[in-house]
Amino acid sequence: AQTVTQSQPEMSVQEAETVTLSCTYDTSESDYYLFWYKQPPSRQMILVIRQEAYKQQNATENRFSVNFQKAAKSFSLKISDSQLGDAAMYFCAYRRRYTGTASKLTFGTGTRLQVTL
C-alpha cells in the first residue's frame, strides 16, 4: 500500500522569506502523480501544485515550486517570498496514474505553516 509521510507537523517562516515543506512517499509503482494541497482556516482544500512522476522537470506555479526526487521518493514544496496568506495547513498527496480503484488520493498528515511579520 502507498503511504505518504510529512515529518514536520509545524513550520514557521517570516514574511518574504523562503520555506521548504518535506514529503516522502512509499510506492512500488513507477507512474503516478504527486500533489500539494493547501487548507487555510476556511477549510477549503486548494490545489497548489501537481507533479507527474514521468516528468523529470520540477513543477512550478508562481511562488510555489517542488523538488521531486523520484529515486529517493521525496517531494518537497518550496514557497518563495512567503506571504501572510500562505499561512495554512499543507497536505502532500499521492495518486497512481491509472483510473478506477487507483484514482484515490493518499494523503500525508499535513504540515501547519505559520507566517510571521
Partner 1 sequence: DAGITQSPRYKITETGRQVTLMCHQTWSHSYMFWYRQDLGHGLRLIYYSAAADITDKGEVPDGYVVSRSKTENFPLTLESATRSQTSVYFCASSELDTQYFGPGTRLTVL
Which chain residues interact with partner 1 by CB under 8 A? 4, 33, 35, 37, 42-47, 50, 52, 91, 95, 97, 99-101, 103-105, 107-110
- Report, in Å, the least distance between residue 50 CB and partner 1: 6
Which CB, 16 or 47, lies closer to partner 1? 47
Q: Comparing C-alpha atoms, which of 103, 98, 111, 107 is closest to residue 9?
A: 111
- Distance, CA of 87 to CA of 29 (rounded, Å): 33
Which CB, 64 or 107, lies closer to partner 1? 107
Q: Is 49 exposed, middle or buried (0-12, 13-18, 19+ CB in 10 A)?
A: buried
Which CB, 30 or 101, lies closer to partner 1? 101
- Report, in Å, the least distance between residue 2 CB and partner 1: 11
| Cα–chain center distance at 8 | 12
